[in-house]
Amino acid sequence: MRTQVVIIGGGPSGLLLSQLLHVRGIDSIVLERKTRDYVLSRIRAGVLERGLLELMRKAGAAARLEREGLPHDGALLSYGDEMFRIDFKRLTGTSVIVYGQTEVTRDLYDAREAAGGRTEFNVDDVEIHDTNRDRPYVTYRVGSEPRRIDCDFVAGCDGFHGVSRKTIPDGVRKEYERVYPFGWLGVLSETPPVNHELIYATSSRGFALCSMRNPMLSRYYVQCPATDRVEAWSDSAFWDELRRRIPADQAEKLVTGPSIEKSIAPLRSFVCEPMRWGRLFLCGDAAHIVPPTGAKGLNTAASDVHYLYNALRQYYEERDSSGIERYSERALARVWKVERFSWWFSSLMHHFPEQTEFDHKIQTAELEFLRSNEDSQRAMATNYVGLPY
C-alpha cells in the first residue's frame, strides 16, 4: 500500500488531521490499535477553545457541535465559601464551548466514514521506518497478517504510550516531566449540573471541579491521593466529599444520583523535544501532557494539528517545505505557554502534601488578588479561552 500521510492513532487529533488533509485532497490512512467502539468509550474533558471549533468547521465536522455545544462566557472560582467569576467574553471578546471529547471523536469518525477515508483498526506491532530519509514506511500487523504502507510523512498521534515518540533516537529526544502526587477522582452522573458554568473550587480539603456534558449529564471531580483506588470510593462517599469542597450555597443545590462512570486520572506535566524527526511528526499526547486543570489537553493537540496540517498543505500545494522545517519550533512555542498555564492553575487550586500553612496563605492571597485585579483576570481568561495559533 501507499499513501501520502500515515497517521498513527485514531483519536481526535489523528482524525482531525486526516479530515483536514482530505478536504485539501491529501491522502492519508489512519492506524488505530483498538476498535472504534473502544475509542468512543473513553470519557474525556470537553471544554473546547475557539481554535478547535474553527478547525472542526474546516474539517466539515462541526454541525452537531455548533447545534448541541454549550457556549460558556465565563467560569467560577471558589475558595472556601468565597466565589467569584472570570468573565471570558467581557475580558477577551470570546468564549469556550462545552462539548464532550467523545462527541468530537464521534463526529470526526462519522465525517471520515462519509468521506470514504481509510482507517485500519486492531493494528499491532506498529513500527516506523526510515523517517530520516525521503521514503519512510510503516509496518504493522492485523491479526496474523503483516502489512506495510509506504508514505511521504508519518504523523504520530498515538498518545503518551504509543510508538511514535520512542522512534525518535534517545540521543535526540529530550523529555521534561513533572508527576503530581495526586489524581482526580471523576464521576459522571445523569443529573443536572449544580451550576450553568464550571466551578473550580479549592478548600482546606483540596480541589474539586463541577462540570457538565449537557443539561442532564454532569461531570464532577475531587482531588485524591495518587495511591487511591476507585473501588474504595462509594457514590455516597464521593458526593459527601464534593459537598465539603464547594461553597455551601452550591452544595445545597447539588443534585446527586448513581454514577454511570467513575475513574481516577493521574496528573502529569510532560513535554518531548523535538516534535519532529525527519518525516515523523508528533501530535498531542505523543509529545506533551498537561494536568486537566483548565482543559488544555485536546485543545493543545488541536494546535499541533493546525501547525502540521498547514505545513503539509504548504508542502503539497506550494512545494514549500518551510512549514515542515519549522513545525517543531512553532508547536513547542505554544505548548510551553500552555504547560505554564496548566501548571500555574493546578498549583493555585490544589493542595500538595509538602505545603505549609504559609503556602496555603499564599494561595489564598493569590486568589484574592485574582478576584480584585482585572489585569490578572484578563491574563487568565486569555489563556483559558485559548492562545492564538
Are 4 and 93 spatial neighbours (Cβ–Cβ below 8 Å)? Answer: no
Told to judge if 292 belongs to the known catalytic residues of this protein, a careful annotator would answer yes
CA–CA gap between residue 8 and residue 365 (Å, rounded):
46
- Check 22, 262, 296, 350 and give the catalytic one: 296
Is residue 336 exposed (0-12), middle (13-18) or buried (19+ Cβ within 10 Å)?
middle
Are 263 and 229 spatial neighbours (Cβ–Cβ below 8 Å)? Answer: no
Told to judge if 146 belongs to the known catalytic residues of this protein, a careful annotator would answer no
Told to judge if 71 belongs to the known catalytic residues of this protein, a careful annotator would answer no
CA–CA gap between residue 128 and residue 28 (Å, rounded):
15
Q: Which residues pair with 208 in a beta bridge?
A: 201, 222
* Other Cβ atoms closer than 10 A to 124: 9
3-state secondary structure of 134: coil
Q: Which amino acid is at 281?
A: F
- Check 79, 180, 200, 307 and give the catalytic one: 200
Cell of 76: 467560577
Told to judge if 384 belongs to the known catalytic residues of this protein, a careful annotator would answer yes
CA dihedral 99, 102, 105, 106 (to 10 degrees): -100
- Orientation angle between helical segments 327-349 and 297-318, nearest 10 degrees: 170
Residue-wise DSSP of 54-102: HHHHHTT--HHHHHH-EEE-EEEEEETTEEEEEEHHHHHS--EEE--HH
Told to judge if 309 belongs to the known catalytic residues of this protein, a careful annotator would answer no
- Check 109, 140, 327, 384 and give the catalytic one: 384
Is residue 384 exposed (0-12), middle (13-18) or buried (19+ Cβ within 10 Å)?
buried
- Check 72, 262, 306, 350 and give the catalytic one: 72
Based on DSSP, count helices (H) and strands (E) in the chain, helices before strands.
Answer: 14, 20
Q: Which residues pair with 178 in a beta bridge?
A: 269
Are 28 and 151 spatial neighbours (Cβ–Cβ below 8 Å)? Answer: no
Catalytic residues: 72, 200, 292, 296, 384
